[in-house]
Structure 1
Amino acid sequence: MSIVLSELHYLPSIPFFQQLLAADSLLLDAHEHYHKQTYRNRCLVLTAQGAQPLTVPVLDGNRSEKIRTSEIEIDYRQNWPHRHFRTLQTAYNASPYFGYYADYLQDIYAQKYVRLWDLNLAMLHLLLRCLRWPLPVEFTTEYLAPAGSSSPTSLFIDRRDVLTPKIAPRSGEPDSTSQLPYPQVFGPGFVPGLSVLDLLFMQGPAAGRWLG
């Protein structure tokens, strides 16, 4: 059985889902410590200005002492849910399937989850349903050290922090994970490494076929 161990991302990227193609289940690290400037609280979407990040503001993310990602709370002092959805609406309203998925996203944003973990998990379950992918999702029961001969992590495919933010990819720029180009709202060049929302909004129920 193939089990992929990963941290939990916000609106995960296409490469995130590609690394799960051969997996029998996804094991999310519920005991890791939070790291700033990662995909734990951000994603990339394609706008008229190119690939742009959407970042969920969090509380305590800058504290010097370590805190579990599963305990990080979201900062609602700014109306980021409205800004994120408006950005998605502006960027993808002309895409074939934005209207098909928009209400589901709005419903999750309206929940105003206290913890980043719960928001990300709700988004992940939604995306798996939209991709028609019944992949089992489980959680670690203790901290797992990086893979090694004497580590229980060796029982899993450890993909933690393999995908990290970088400068927004440009058209034609090679990506760490090979992607089949598909039509995007803004062209003419293909931009890789975006949230899987970009693929869903363009391909709808057929999106899963573009991950392989």
Structure 2
Amino acid sequence: MKLIHPTYFPNIHTFSFIANESICWELEDNYQKQTFRNRTYISTDRGKHILSIPIVHVGKEFGRQRYKSVALDHTYPWQRQHWRTLETAYRTSPFFEFYEDEIRPLYTQPFDLLMDFNLKTIEVILDCLQLQMPSETTSSYEDKPALYKDYRFLVNAKLDHDLHFEPYTQVFGDRHGFIPNLSILDLLFNLGPNALSYLKQGILPKTHG
């Protein structure tokens, strides 16, 4: 069983594990910046684009903040802005309208905590793919997990995994070429039910010389 952080509409690499492996969610760690906890990447007419969720930052005097207690910052209408960006980017994709009614409520319903929102984004995608949401979670933090394979490194937004992603048709592929390892939303809106077959084939390391 693999130990994974719940992230915002996980990228394809991370979601390939969620779709194919037994997963335990890491719920007891500290929040860290520069990770996929509050960001995901999509493809727009201008190329690779980040969707970043604003959070409520606590002062340094409170020490490290637990991931599960991180609150969403609704002083800016980020849900409306993210949904409009997704509509603009994917309205012409083959399967946007097919899944629109499942995805849109995430951007109209109120959420208080980042982790709850992230888990819900994953649950909705799994439901679209007719897969079960993993239910196992951690009850305490372990630096070196005894019972799980540690895949928490996947949350690091700066880590280069040097992987090969089989190209698929993207909305703006004629302008920017194939952009690999975007949010699972990119795969879902472009491939629809075939997204599961793509995830099942696995993501392989690049071959060298």
TM-score normalised to the size of structure 1?
0.86
- CA distance in 1 between partners of 2:50 and 2:124 (Å): 20
Query: Which aligned pairs between 1:64-143 and structure 2 lie closer than 5 A?
Result: 65-143=63-141
Give the counterpart of 2:166 among 170, 180, 193.
180
Q: Counterpart of 2:196?
A: 208
Change (3 A) 1:199 1:32: same
Change (3 A) 1:38 1:97: same
- CA distance in 2 between partners of 1:122 and 1:91 (Å): 22
Q: Does 1:56 align with 2:53?
A: yes
Superposed displacement of residue 49, structure 1: 0.8
Q: Counterpart of 1:160?
A: 152
Amino acid at match of 1:27: C
Q: Conserved in 2, the CA contact under 8 Å of 1:26 and 1:135?
A: no
Structure 2 segments unaligned to the other structure (5+ residues): 202-209
* SS in structure 1 at match of 2:102: helix
- CA distance in 2 between partners of 1:137 and 1:199 (Å): 24
Q: Conserved in 2, the CA contact under 8 Å of 1:11 and 1:196?
A: yes
Q: Conserved in 2, the CA contact under 8 Å of 1:45 and 1:198?
A: yes
Structure 1 segments unaligned to the other structure (5+ residues): 147-152, 168-173
Q: Conserved in 2, the CA contact under 8 Å of 1:34 and 1:66?
A: yes
Q: Counterpart of 1:190?
A: 178
* SS in structure 2 at match of 1:207: helix
Amino acid at match of 1:13: N
* SS in structure 2 at match of 1:58: coil
Q: Cα RMSD (Å) of the superposition?
A: 1.9
The percentage of counterpart residues that share the same residue type is 35
Superposed displacement of residue 72, structure 1: 0.2
Change (3 A) 1:121 1:135: closer
- CA distance in 2 between partners of 1:177 and 1:156 (Å): 23
Kindly provide the CA deviation profile for residues 145-172 of structure 1, in whole angstroms up to 9, marking residues without a partner as x.
13xxxxxx142111112342249xxxxx
Superposed displacement of residue 38, structure 1: 0.7
Give the counterpart of 1:37 among 22, 34, 38.
34
Change (3 A) 1:69 1:157: same
Between Structure 1 and Structure 2, which shows a larger proportion of helix residues?
A: 2
Kindly provide the CA deviation profile for residues 75-123 of structure 1, in whole angstroms up to 9, marking residues without a partner as x.
0000000110000000000001111112222212222100001111111
Amino acid at match of 2:33: K
Q: Conserved in 1, the CA contact under 8 Å of 2:71 and 2:114?
A: yes
